Amino acid sequence: MAVALIPLAYLAVRTAEAGWDRIAAELWTERVGLLALRSLGLAAVVTTACVLLGVGTAFLVIRTDLPGRRAFAVLAALPLAVPTYIAAFAWVSAMPRLEGFWPAALVLTLCSYPYVLLPVAAALRGADPAQEEVSRSLGRSGWQTFTAVTLRQIRPATAAGALLVALYVLSDFGAVSILRADTFTRAIFVAFDMGFDRTGALVLSSVLVALTVLLLAGETATRRRGARYARLGGTRRPAPRLPLGAARWPVLAALLGVAGLALGVPAVSLGRRLAAGVSRPGALPEVLTAAGNSLTVSLAGAALTMLLALPLGLLAARAPGPLTTVLDRLAYLAHALPGVVIGLSLIFFGINVAYPLYQTRWLLALAYATLFLPLAVGAVAGAAAQSPAGLEEVARSLGRGPWSVLRTVTLPLTLPGIGAGAALVFLTGMKELPATLLLRPTGTDTLATELWTSTAVGAYAAAAPYAALLVAISALPTWLLVARSGLLDKEDRT
Amino acid sequence: MLVTRRTTSVLLAAGLLTFGLAACGSGDEDATDPGKPDDKQITVYSGRNEQLVKPLLEKFTEQTGIAVKPRYATTAQLAAQLIEEGDKSPADVFFAQDAGALGTVAKRGMFSTLPEATTTKVPPTYRAGNGQWVGLSARARVLAYNPDLVPADQLPKSVFDLTGPAWKGKVGVAPTNASFQAFVTAIRVQHGDAKAEEFLAGLKANDPQIRDGNIKIVEDVNSGTVPVGLVNHYYLGEVAKEQGTTPDALKVKLHFFPGGDTGALVNVAGLGVLNRSATDPDVQKFVDFMLGTEAQTYFAEQTFEYPVVAGVHGPAYVPPLADLAVPDVDLNDLDTLDATVTMIKNSGLVP
């Protein structure tokens, strides 16, 4: 848990150094107020759009007779493999005048709605259709049943996905900087860039932490009120599919449109850049080394994150209570901080506490763990909550020790969650740039840093293969996640 | 089915853990080993782009047998990193993209004073007065323009004309860019704070075309989306390189403001040596190499900048440095960045 606290401690130390006068001068300005409103506004708009798009797509793919629904399931989840800075860059290349709040909201929505889609799809698939049947038999219409029963059944999954999206929007830098939407994250980066104003940047970061606390408190509140989980009995059967009838063509067109915007625009735009430029990436070994480095640091990050997330996730599922809630929420706090702040806080930690680790892959892995812990904790807790605690009690009553139970019962039951969490962390680590730049071992290039290096001097054609490779490698864990959420399952499988 | 999936998951998770942890342990134990003087190895924090300077660093290693461990990031990030690292920094040299960053690190007392034999190779205008850093290459502020949209005879005489109604909505700027900030600092030094504030307010009110970086501005001027833009001269070279052509063949042209106008400021990219490497002969060899004819020619030919050492010719597509009507501003006076940044923030040009 201490991992998530490193950035908070760092912020506290450095902000306190600035002195109250300086903090007050930075804080009580119209500018900070506007930034806060705009950041929250962007988070609200993107989260709403992602919920609509994510729940809608999940419902269409899981519960209707949409033609080619499994292909659509993969297409709909793939944007997860596209980093926002690549998507935003592609959009700006395609439409030079694009800038501001709404374009940023569009790009962020297209890149992050799978965060809602995946858990909701899994929940829809696992939900007990009996409740819906009862609702229908008691005279409610199909739509009433959907809003009153189905949506409530998937509410925890929707809320979890929405929270991730909201935090992601608060911390994202790629889209808002390229599309020039003035949010907190952009202001923090600009403060670093302009005059190397560390204090100003860190004071702003503290405000971002405060906003995140508000957001988390809000989410916790709705979670308590709306909590309603469908407990599955011994048998599980799939819900009947809703025939779409004539509506299926417009629905199909809409889904194709979303996929075109989310994947087609980046693909076409990058292709055009590749064709137009003459710069070329380094020799094949260089590209492969970068890919290898990306793989190892992301895998190391995923492994470390899972190690840290496992106890937290199990605690959240098995021993709910105020303390657990606080611990769980703390893990989310660092998730909303921009990568550059996490990077600096770990430099501080590396220099002052763990110097032997400084500028090694370990510290970078630790940064990924700090940034992406909630992704992993959520997945572990979700899987642990689905497996009945009774099994563990039985094992204990039959004389097994606690470790033995953990090893032979709890862990195997939680493994799908661990796998999903690891895939998500790995995927996100591959795309991470700011913290990677600050913490990587000197001389180590990853796909993301090579991409940055090339685009910074306008060598877009040289950047394109790195971008393509990054998306291609990220597509693999994305596919795993899709398979895990049951989106690919055949009709008769239960 | 369930069993298969679980087995796959087990294997996957186990493999992931082993591989990930093994990857961590592999061979970067000496990552922060600062090394000893004269151990034929130096660590360079480079705020200049890898694509631009990597061949040069490789040439240095080839000639001297001294290995360079380069750490690439933006100049601003590395300045922040160096300050956070303090005395424990593994860096020997900070190779930065602008004088402001070098000044910021120098102010923290982290740079050693360079030997006079080194600094005197460079004209006093392009190095620190106290010898803490030295410029390696110079870059001129220019107005990039599209001759289809703005005929050469209608170009402004002064950068201050750009706040006039004739230029409403027509000027591309990158206010978060360090070179723009140096330029605003130069206005403050040359004409005072009031004039700088007036200029920024005028620019903001004139509906400028704000971009994230200079390359985007040059591309947009070249394509005719934006008529003119305030950039550094060498970005034309970078854009031309990517399009497989020469700067002369591009549609976009350069206008150097005449008569010592602040708009024609010349800034530098340069380096400083960290305190603990003051007497390392490897580091001294590196500094000498960067100021030598070969490296200076490289800057002129490959990064399209102006060399700062006498006797090396500048890039072909721009007038020689000596012919530029450079404003009367001492780069040493550009270290009051804080006030400039506050001013730019207050102007509303940045978030």
Does pLDDT of B28 surpass 50? no
Dmax over CA atoms of chain A, in Å, equals 70
More confident residue, A494 or B191: B191
Domain co-membership, B182 together with B273: no
C-alpha distance from B216 to closest chain A C-alpha (Å)? 8
Chain A residues with CB-CB distance to B239 below 8 A? 458
d(C-alpha A359, C-alpha B31), whole Å:
6
Please report whether residue A175 resides in a domain: yes
Between B72, B244, B344, which is nearest A194 by CB?
A: B344
Using an 8 Å Cβ cutoff, are A377 and A331 in contact? yes
Residues B209 and B343 in one domain: yes
Whether B164 is in a domain gets the answer: yes
What is the spatial distance between Cα B176 and Cα A192, in angstroms, rounded to a whole number?
10
Rounded distance, CA A451 to CA A448, Å? Answer: 5
Long-range contacts of the stretch B278-281 (C-beta < 8 A, 24+)? B278/B112, B278/B113, B279/B37, B280/B37, B280/B38, B280/B42, B280/B92, B281/B37, B281/B38
- Split at pLDDT 50, 70, 90, the class of B150 is very high
Same-domain check for residues B211 and B342: yes
Residue A240: predicted pLDDT? 72
Which DSSP symbol is given to B274? B
Q: Is residue A53 assigned to a domain?
A: yes
Residue B109 sits in the same domain as residue B184: no
Establish if A32 belongs to a structural domain.
yes
Question: Are residues B126 and B70 both part of a single domain?
Answer: yes
What residues make up the domain containing B109? 41-138+267-319
> Does the CB of A287 have a partner CB in chain B at under 8 Å?
no
Name chain B contacts of A437, Cβ cutoff 8 Å. Answer: 72-74, 77
Q: Which of residues 140-169 of A touch B (CB under 8 A)?
A: none
- Residues B163, B92, single domain; the answer is no
Which DSSP state fits B149? T
Total domains, chain B:
2
Radius of gyration of chain A (CA): 23
- Is residue A245 situated within a structural domain? no
Flag whether pLDDT at B186 surpasses 50: yes
Q: A223-245 burial, b if ≥16 CB within 10 A, otherwise e?
A: eeeeeeebeeeeeeebbeeeebe
Amino acid identity, position B241: K
Structure confidence at residue B160 (pLDDT):
94
Residue A348's contacts (CB-CB under 8 Å, 6 or more residues apart) are A10, A13, A14, B84
User: pLDDT for B87-137, tens place per residue?
Assistant: 889 999 999 988 888 888 888 899 999 999 999 999 888 898 889 999 999
The per-residue DSSP string of B175-206 comes to TTSHHHHHHHHHHHHHH-HHHHHHHHHHHHHT
Task: Give the length of chain A.
Answer: 494
Q: What is the ipTM score, two decimals?
A: 0.71
Residues B125 and B175 in one domain: no
List, in order, residues 6 or more apart from B304 with CB less than 8 Å away: B233, B234, B236, B237, B238, B247, B315, B317
Q: Do B77 and B133 belong to one domain? A: yes
Cα(B38)–Cα(A268) distance, integer angstroms: 51
What's residue A327's pLDDT? 80
CATH of the domain at A125: 1.10.3720.10
Contact call for residues A56 and A120 (beta carbons, < 8 A): no
Q: Check A303 against B219: CB less than 8 A apart.
A: no
Largest CA distance in chain B: 81
A24 CB contacts (<8 Å, ≥6 apart)? Answer: none
Residues in chain A where the model's pLDDT stays below 70 = 1-3, 194-197, 223-238, 278-279, 281-282, 386, 486-494
> What is the SS3 assignment for B111?
strand
Query: B191 and B278 share a domain?
Result: no
- CA–CA distance from B28 to each of A69, A219, B22, B33 (Å)? 47, 42, 12, 10
pLDDT recorded at residue B35: 64
Task: State the residue for tokens 């499994």.
Answer: A70
Helices A198-226, A339-352: axis angle to 10 degrees equals 110
Quick check: A192 and B243 CB within 8 A? no
CA–CA dist A257, A259 (Å, integer): 5
Residue B258 lies in a domain: yes
How high is the pLDDT of residue A108?
A: 93
Interface membership of A393 toward B (CB under 8 Å): no
pLDDT computed for residue A195 by the predictor: 58
Within a domain: B18: no
User: Is residue B23, in this structure, part of any structural domain at all?
Assistant: no
Phi, psi of A61 (to 5 degrees): -75, -35
Report the share of chain B in percent with pLDDT over 90: 48
Query: Locate tokens 């004039």: which residue?
Result: B195
For residue B52, the model assigns a pLDDT of 85
Residue of chain A minimizing CA distance to B27? A360
**Does residue B295 surpass a pLDDT of 90?**
yes
Residue B30 lies in a domain: no
pLDDT per residue as tens digits for the range B221-237: 999 989 999 999 999 88
Q: Does A278 touch chain B (CB under 8 A)?
A: yes
Residue in chain B lying closest to A339 (CA): B77
Q: Which residues of B are annotated as a binding site for Fe cation?
A: 234-235
Instruction: Give the per-residue pLDDT at B274.
Output: 95
Measured between beta carbons, the chain A residues lying within 8 angstroms of B70 are 442-443
Q: Are A341 and A11 in contact (CB under 8 A)?
A: yes
Residue B27 lies in a domain: no
Interface contact A208, partner B, CB < 8 A? no
Closest chain B residue to the Cα of A98, Cα to Cα? B211
Q: Number of structural domains, chain A?
A: 1
* Residue B9 in domain: no
Minimal C-alpha gap between A160 and chain B (Å) = 23
Q: Is B191 exposed, middle or buried (0-12, 13-18, 19+ CB in 10 A)?
A: middle
Residues 6+ apart with CB under 8 A from A367: A301, A342, A343, A346, A435, A436, A439
- Whether the CB-CB separation of A25 and A88 falls below 8 Å is answered with no
The verdict on B85 and B192 lying in the same domain is no
Please state the separation of Cα A178 from the chain's center in Å.
Answer: 20
Judged by CB atoms closer than 8 Å, whether chains meet at B71 and A443 is answered as yes
CA–CA min distance B340, chain A (Å): 8
B89 in the same domain as B122: yes
CATH number of the domain enclosing B161: 3.40.190.10
The answer to whether residue A130 neighbours chain B at the CB level (below 8 Å) is no
Question: A306 at the B interface (CB within 8 A)?
Answer: yes
Which residue in the set A276, A301, A453 is minimally distant from B72, CB to CB? A453
Residue B339 sits in the same domain as residue B228: yes
Structural domain of A261: 2-229+256-484
- Residue A194, burial from CB neighbour count under 10 angstroms (0-12, 13-18, 19+): buried
Q: A491 lies in a domain? A: no
Sign of the torsion angle spanned by Cα atoms A377, A383, A389, A394: negative
pLDDT in tens, B48-65: 888 889 999 999 999 999
Under a CB-based contact definition with an 8 Å cutoff, are residues A172 and A84 in contact? Answer: yes
Does some domain include residue A251? no
Q: Which amino acid is at A437?
A: L
Position B131 in a domain: yes
> Would you state the structure tokens that stand for residue A395, as one six-digit string?
């094992």
Q: How many CB pairs under 8 A join A and B?
A: 194
Q: How far apart are CA A321 and CA B235, in angstroms?
A: 58
Predicted confidence band at B9 (pLDDT cuts at 50, 70, 90)? Answer: low
Chain B positions touching A195 (Cβ under 8 A) are: 100, 104, 181, 337-338, 340-341
Cα torsion A268, A271, A273, A276: sign: negative
Instruction: Please check whether residue A494 lies inside any domain of the structure.
Output: no
Residues annotated within the binding site of B are 234-235
Question: How far is it, in rounded angstroms, from Cα B188 to Cα B182?
Answer: 10
